[in-house]
Each structure stands twice: as C-alpha cells, then as structure tokens.
Structure 1
Amino acid sequence: MITIEQWNGQTDDIEALARVLHGCVHGGASVGFVLPHPMAEARRFWRDTIQPQVTGGGRVVLFARRETQIVGTGSLVIDTPANQPHRAEVSKLLVHPDHRRQGIARALMTALEGHARTINRRLLTLDTRSGDTAEPLYVSLGFQVAGRIPGYCMDPTGARFESTTYMFKPL
C-alpha cells in the first residue's frame, strides 16, 4: 500500500529522498543532473536547495511511502511572483526506478493537485523532457501542451541536448 505524506523538511528524511533522486538520475531521468551523480550530490540538493525552500514556505514537497520506504516524491513551487498568486509549478516528480509502473506518479500528481486547490492555486505548470514517459501521464491527467523548446538541456549523460515540453492545467 502506498501512502502520500507531506514533507516538513525533517533532516532524517533527506537520505531516503536522496536515494530516490539518485536512482532516477541513474535510471535516465532528465531532472537537472548529469552523470556521474554521486549520492553526496543528491543529499546536497535536498539539504541545501529543497529543504530551505520547504521550511521557508516557498515549496511543498509530498512523498510516496510504501511501508517504511520513501519510493517517490513531487513538489509544488508556490513562491511565485506577486502577479501570479493563482499559479504553482509542479517540480521534481520522481519515482524510484524499482517502483515504477505502479500508479505512484499518478497518486503523487493527484495529491499535488489536491494540495494546490487547498491553497487556492487555479493553474499548474510544469516542464518535462519531450517524448519522455511522463508526458503521456501528464496528458492523461488533463495537462495541455503549451509548447516545446528544442535543445533546452543536456541529457543525463551530457552527450546531447534535448527538448523540453511546457504544459499547463487549469484547476
């Protein structure tokens, strides 16, 4: 059974969250990192980048737990400019490769949408690697393609540039 919980920035969860990120990058996910991607870099990302945003109120992080193990995560960036208080950005939807194809990403996205509604956000935006397996998931959840940017980022191996697809969903 999977449960979805909100992370309050507790330091003792950083190792488990770092394992999810590390596994995803090593599994080919294009989420801002290139190989080699040591665990220390994944820990630093959660500790130095995400944790301060969570404790500062600019980001909401949800995670999926199977029994005692954190197996996936996703977040809403809610620290938006003054003229965009109605919007949130979905960021870093990650499911560890050992736990994919079990509805975890869908459950996380549904929970993120629900949370966005509770804080009066009426528009979600996100970007994903064009052609990635996540793109059809987002479409099935009602997201629409706003456009694609070619050569947006390097693939995880650093060998080539890939396009990204920007998407949105009115709530």
Structure 2
Amino acid sequence: MNVMIEENRSHPRLPELLAAYHLINQAGKGTPVATAAGLPAAYRAETEDPAAAFVADTVLLATPPGGDLPAGCVVLKAPQEGRAPEIKRLWVAPEARRKGIAKALMTEALRRAAAAGASAVRLTVWNGREEPLALYRGLGFETVASWDDRPDLLCLQKPLGTADRVERLTAEEVRAHAPAGLAALLVDAVEGGASVGFLAPLETAEAAAWWTRVATETAEGARDVWAAHAPDGRLTGVVTLVRGSTANGRHRGEIARLLVRRDARGRGLGYRLLAAAEAHAAATGLSLLVLDTQTDSPAERLYRGAGWTAAGTIPDFAADPAGVPRPTTLYYKRLG
C-alpha cells in the first residue's frame, strides 16, 4: 500500500497539522507558545483558516497506508515576482514518521511544480536540522545564495527538468562563443544596469572583442572561463577566474564577470557558476579569492550567501552603465 496524497486546503485535519508545525517551530526558535492562539498573527491565521491563507497555493496532505486521516502536509507556494515557487510547511505527525510520508509529499510537490512549468523549486531550512536536510539533499536540492537574512537559515533550490549545464570552456570555445553567446551575455548585463566595466549602450562588436581578448588570456593560462548552457544550447551565464601573475600573488585569484542572463535568473545559476570556479581554484592550488562588486547590488546577496567576506567599501570607485560613479565593495574568500 502506498501513501495517499490529496490536494485539499479545506480539509478539517489541516488546521491541526499546521498548528503542530508552528508550535514546534516556535519552540525551536526559542519563542515557545502553549497553544495556537499564542502564535504570531500570520501563523495563527494559517491555523484558523488555511483555505484563505493559502488561497493561491497548492496544499497537499498525506494519509499513511491503512490510515483514516492525513498525518502530513506540505504547501507549494505560487511563484511571485518571477521567482521559483517555494515549498513551505512540510510536517509529518511524530507517530506517522519513518513511513516515507515526507518524501512522498515532497515528490508530489516537485511533480506538480514541474507540470506547472516551473524551472526550479526553492525552500528554507534551519541549519542543524539534519533529518530534513538529508531529505532535501537526497531529492537534489542544493544550497544557494540566501534570499532570507535570518541567521542560520539555509536557502536551498532544486532545478526541474533539464538543468542548464555548467562547464569550463577551452580557449577555442571562448573564441567561438565570443561573437554571439558571450557577447550577448555582456550586452544583457550592461542593459540591465550591471557595473561590469562598460558604459551603455554596449555594442555587440565591442563585447565580442573583449571576449576574444579573454580567449587569448585563456590560452595563456592567465584566465579560466565557465559557461552555463541551456538545453537548447544558448549560453545563460558565465564566470571567469583570473589567476595572480606576480611572484608574490600566485596563491590568489580574482572572480570576474559573473553574469547570468536576466531571463535565466532565480534558478541558482550564479551560485553554480561561482561554485565551479571556486572548486577549480582550490583544486589548482589557489588559497585565496577576491572580487569586487557594486555596493548594494543584487550580487552582494549571492556572495554573502556563498561564504564571502566583505573587506571594505570604496566610494565612487566605478561608474555604472549610465556613467554615474558608484561605491564598490571588496570581498574575499579563503579556500581549503
């Protein structure tokens, strides 16, 4: 017999399951309450009227083999502002655990997200929650840059369908992609307001010429390049690693030109590209990486979430694509 999954945000058992989830969660955060009536207003509203609280979302319940009532639940939130849908409120009653209910709920939520056309699904989990973390990683979730600044809260994401492929490019491949795919990534970044060394409007020919010079550096061993390839072959992201060239700086490298197409963001590509460059740097003997990025730019959340440390800010260091001087924050990360 299998776990029975049903979608029903109005099931009479759901308020009890949600209340149990929130009471345990509040205790884990160090702010315990005795009953659902003492929960913060937003959480209390979920337990009082789940149908209204999750009106736009998919609520799944699971009944164990031989059971009469649901013993677990999960919520697949509707995507907002172009972001991937988020899984919330995964809960299985203690007496029904070790029966595959949590995995069944997660599997069905992922199936429904894929069927709805989502390219990825995300979730958060408190660091140290070993059992749920093991479940999520077993299902293919990976840690990504944080979108929630609460301490000790991990943000995870799982690509759905055929994920974009990240691979290191040879010098010949950089040269081959320079006129179109790589140039398009650079033009897209500048059009989107990213401070990456160019002013707007950036012509495709100028962007292609820059990548052609990068191909020469790659052939000389001075720079490594990784690109993300969509299933249709289109380049969706790129990052480069510039190796230190001075006698006293060969232990370090610089992350430069981490770019993700605007229509491919929110799928963890930036984190995957950065991770590929970091792993290669460590494997080839580098012990320190540095980078700089425009202060208060979206990229800062990615770097902080990936374990980078801010070293300081320089005012008016570089102009944005419109030519306005902006502050730049310097970051570093020790490897190994």
TM-score interval w.r.t. the shorter chain? over 0.9
Computing the radius of gyration from Cα coordinates, the structure with the larger value is 2
In 2: Cα distance, 1:12 partner to 1:77 partner: 20
Summarize deviations over 1:34-59 as a string: whole Å, max 9, x none.
01111111111101x21111111100
The residue that corresponds to 2:258 in the other structure is: 93
The residue that corresponds to 2:203 in the other structure is: 38
TM-score by length of 2: 0.49
The residue that corresponds to 2:176 in the other structure is: 12
In 2: Cα distance, 1:85 partner to 1:79 partner: 5
In 2: Cα distance, 1:13 partner to 1:148 partner: 34
The residue that corresponds to 1:170 in the other structure is: 334
Summarize deviations over 1:51-76 as a string: whole Å, max 9, x none.
11111110001111111111100011
**Larger RCO (CA under 8 A, 6+ residues apart):** 1
2:222 to 29, 45, 58: 58
Offset of 1:5 from its aligned partner? 0.9
Unaligned 5+ runs, structure 2: 1-162
* Contact 2:244–2:251 (8 Å) recurs in 1: no
Unaligned 5+ runs, structure 1: none
Count of aligned positions: 169
The residue that corresponds to 1:154 in the other structure is: 319
Summarize deviations over 1:69-95 as a string: whole Å, max 9, x none.
111000110143111121110000001
2:247 to 76, 82, 89: 82
In 1: Cα distance, 2:304 partner to 2:257 partner: 17
The residue that corresponds to 2:310 in the other structure is: 145
In 2: Cα distance, 1:36 partner to 1:64 partner: 24
* Contact 1:80–1:88 (8 Å) recurs in 2: no
Q: Which amino acid aligns with 1:57?
A: G
TM-score by length of 1: 0.96
In 2: Cα distance, 1:70 partner to 1:104 partner: 11
* 1:83 counterpart SS class: coil
Identity of aligned residues (%): 36
Offset of 1:129 from its aligned partner? 0.4
Give the root-mean-square deviation of aligned CA atoms.
Answer: 0.9
In 2: Cα distance, 1:123 partner to 1:2 partner: 28
In 2: Cα distance, 1:98 partner to 1:45 partner: 23
Pairing 1:128–2:293 present: yes
Q: Which structure features the higher share of strand residues?
A: 1
* 2:171 counterpart SS class: coil
In 1: Cα distance, 2:238 partner to 2:284 partner: 19
* 1:22 counterpart SS class: helix
In 2: Cα distance, 1:80 partner to 1:87 partner: 9
